[in-house]
Amino acid sequence: MSVAPRITDSHCHLDFPELAEELDAVIARARDAGVHRMVTICTKLRSLPAVRDIAHHNAGVFYAAGTHPMSAAQEPLAQLEELVALAEDPKCVGLGESGLDYHYTAESAAVQQESLRIHIAAAQETGLPLIIHARDADDDMARILAEGHAKKPYPCVMHCFSSGAGLARAALDLGFYLSMSGITAFPKSKALREIFAAAPLDRILVETDSPYLAPPPHRGKRNEPAHVVHTAKAAAELFGLSYAEFAARTEANFERLFDRVPAYEAAA
């Protein structure tokens, strides 16, 4: 019996009710599919205890701490000192997701930008990668990320990237990574696939953003980490690689960006 290539779901939300209600089974299915690591993402700092507990009670699960831009106006503003302190936990491997979302919450653009700048400062101080959510805010997103980087470089991934080619190029020019979600496998996502095909392979990650955005053949259903395999197989075809080759390349990319993960595993 062949063993599935190992791959990482770099962005999921295991604390969300759709997954948390059967967490053990969700993680077991992921492992059966070869998904040996997951990064579960905090969207509100008041939810962090649950996110952190999931990571600490499950081998191969890590987490990120931050405030989602769509929650920035409803939640207490994250403070730099707070994020830096949270980053001391060795299983905390990233900051975010932060960013800008003008699709549903354009009225809170000012506070989103303030929150984003605080998260950038935390990434600069801690060295942990910043996890960015960007929707309908390409110009402001590119400008703020570049302004921060000019002051002091920091690592970053554009999670679930589905913005335009201009923002992709701006992010890549800063040395950032682009993450492929199930959207890239949708039949009508040809333009998005072309953006990824033009990007350096050593700057590509894969994710589910589960419980959302399930790739075919599960589109329209609840997503979960095991399904990152379908996104990765479609991506492998895009890059002209076998699935095993693509999985190995994205594993190396993940460990380069989220370098606390292999350090944690080596010390365990």
Q: Distances in Å between the alpha carbon of 82 and those of 41, 46, 62, 88, 98?
A: 17, 12, 19, 10, 15
Q: Residue 237: which residues within 8 A CB-CB, separation 6 or more? A: none
pLDDT value at residue 238? 97
pLDDT attached to residue 228: 98
* Selection from 54, 5, 41 nearest residue 229 by Cα: 5
Please give the chain's pLDDT, 268 residues, in tens.
Answer: 568 899 999 999 999 999 999 999 999 999 999 999 999 999 999 999 999 999 999 999 999 999 999 999 999 999 999 999 999 999 999 999 999 999 999 999 999 999 999 999 999 999 999 999 999 999 999 999 999 999 999 999 999 999 999 999 999 999 999 999 999 999 999 999 999 999 999 999 999 999 999 999 999 999 999 999 999 999 999 999 999 999 999 999 999 999 999 999 999 8
The total of other beta-carbon atoms located within 10 Å of residue 107's CB is 10
Q: Which backbone phi and psi does 210 adopt, to 5 degrees?
A: -65, 145
How far apart, in whole angstroms, are the C-alpha atoms of residue 219 and residue 223?
8
Domains assigned to the chain: 7-267 (3.20.20.140)
Distances (CA, A) of 37 to 33, 97, 210, 224, 258: 11, 18, 14, 13, 12
Phi, psi of 43 (to 5 degrees): -110, -15
C-alpha 62: how far from chain center: 12
For the chain, percent of residues with pLDDT exceeding 90: 98
What pLDDT is attached to residue 62? 98
pLDDT of residue 1: 56
CB 105 within 8 A of CB 73: yes
Read off the tokens for 207. 């994710």
pLDDT at residue 4, rounded to an integer: 87
Secondary structure class of 66 (helix, strand, coil): coil
Tell me what pLDDT residue 239 has: 98
Query: Strand pairing of 130-135 and 156-158?
Result: parallel
- Quick one: pLDDT at residue 3? 81
